[in-house]
Amino acid sequence: MTANVNINYRSPIPLGSTVLLTCSLDKKEGQKTFVSCQVTNTDGSKLHTEATGLFLSITMGHRRMMDRPAHRPTRRYKHTTSETALTA
């Protein structure tokens, strides 16, 4: 599951160009996987784009829980001049 993706566009890529995409696994900490990528011209001399991402490994049980609609009870607030009271 994607937790965060950051993309920095450094220079435009001319239409019809061939580019080189280089990605690396920077580190793995438990369920977290950190990845970085660069897009350059074919000889690597011009950087077009660089990106980083954080991805989380989740279990199928966790995935099923995420697919269910969240139960969020409706809360009503009653305002008086002296205090704010929560009513059910």
pLDDT in tens, 28-52: 999 999 999 999 999 999 999 999 9
Domain count, the chain: 1
The structure's pTM equals 0.63
DSSP assignment, residue 16? Answer: T
pLDDT in tens, 50-77: 999 999 998 876 656 666 666 566 666 5
| CATH code for the domain of 7 | 3.10.129.10
CA distances from residue 69 to 64, 66, 74 in whole angstroms, order as listed: 10, 8, 14
Q: In this structure, what token pair is assigned to residue 47? A: 């950087």
Domain hosting residue 68, numbered range: 2-87
